[in-house]
Amino acid sequence: MSFKTKGYHLIKNALSQELTKFSCDYLHLKAEIYDTFREKRHISPYTEDWGTRDDEQVPKAFSIYGDPVMEILLKTIKPVLEKAIKKSLVETYSFARIYITGNELKRHKDRDACEISTTLNLGGDPWPIYIEPDKSKGTVKNKKYISENTPGVEIILEPGDMLVYRGIDLEHWREPFEGNSCSQVFLHYNDIESFGTKNLYDERIHLGLPRMSYFFKSKEKL
């Protein structure tokens, strides 16, 4: 079945092994730099411009929003993605994480900027992601996400593989991680027929900038 029918699609070897390894090594170096900066008090504990280990969704995992290298991947891989799912896409943002032992990605659905979401395996120990193909499963009530805890579909990604899915429609999650390390980057897009350019660059002036603030917000949004 197609992406249009299922709402998700696995793209094997979406990224070359050379570029996959480069991206993984880069992300680990970025995490090491962040840890050194925090240890030496070179950066404020309140800024996430260099990354964070205080992400509410997955505490202790290193994560970074809008890193320039990951944002280049966001643009570079878009033609591959568009060809695979037969849609014209608008880039919104990237978000990379290095998961460690015990981390868990709880069941959830995404915000509008993640309408067409991807998770790209950069390296590390195997760790399946689960997708619930029935979009009626999982709802928000009184600002709280309520899951029906269905078994879902298990998908295992190898380095360079990318899973694309309708992030705002399909519940997705990962069970507690039993390995040592797993590096992933989420590359998010909108279908131009759904949202147009409303969420272009996640409302930032251009790619590579930190999370949206007044200073980095597109003039169209001011």
Q: If you ran DSSP here, which 8-state letter would residue 75 be given?
A: H
Structural domain includes residue 36: yes
Give the residues across from 55 on adjacent strands: none
In this prediction, residue 213 carries a pLDDT of 58
Looking at residue 185, which CATH number applies to its domain? 2.60.120.620
In this prediction, residue 1 carries a pLDDT of 74
In this prediction, residue 220 carries a pLDDT of 53
Structural domain includes residue 169: yes
* Average pLDDT for runs of 10 along the chain of length 222: 92 98 99 96 90 94 98 97 97 98 96 97 98 94 89 97 97 97 98 96 94 59 50
Residue numbers of the domain that contains 55:
3-206+216-221
Q: Count how many domains the chain has.
A: 1
Structural domain includes residue 47: yes
Handedness of CA 78, 64, 122, 23 (dihedral sign): positive
CA nearest neighbour of 13 among 158, 161, 186: 161
In this prediction, residue 143 carries a pLDDT of 81
Structural domain includes residue 211: no
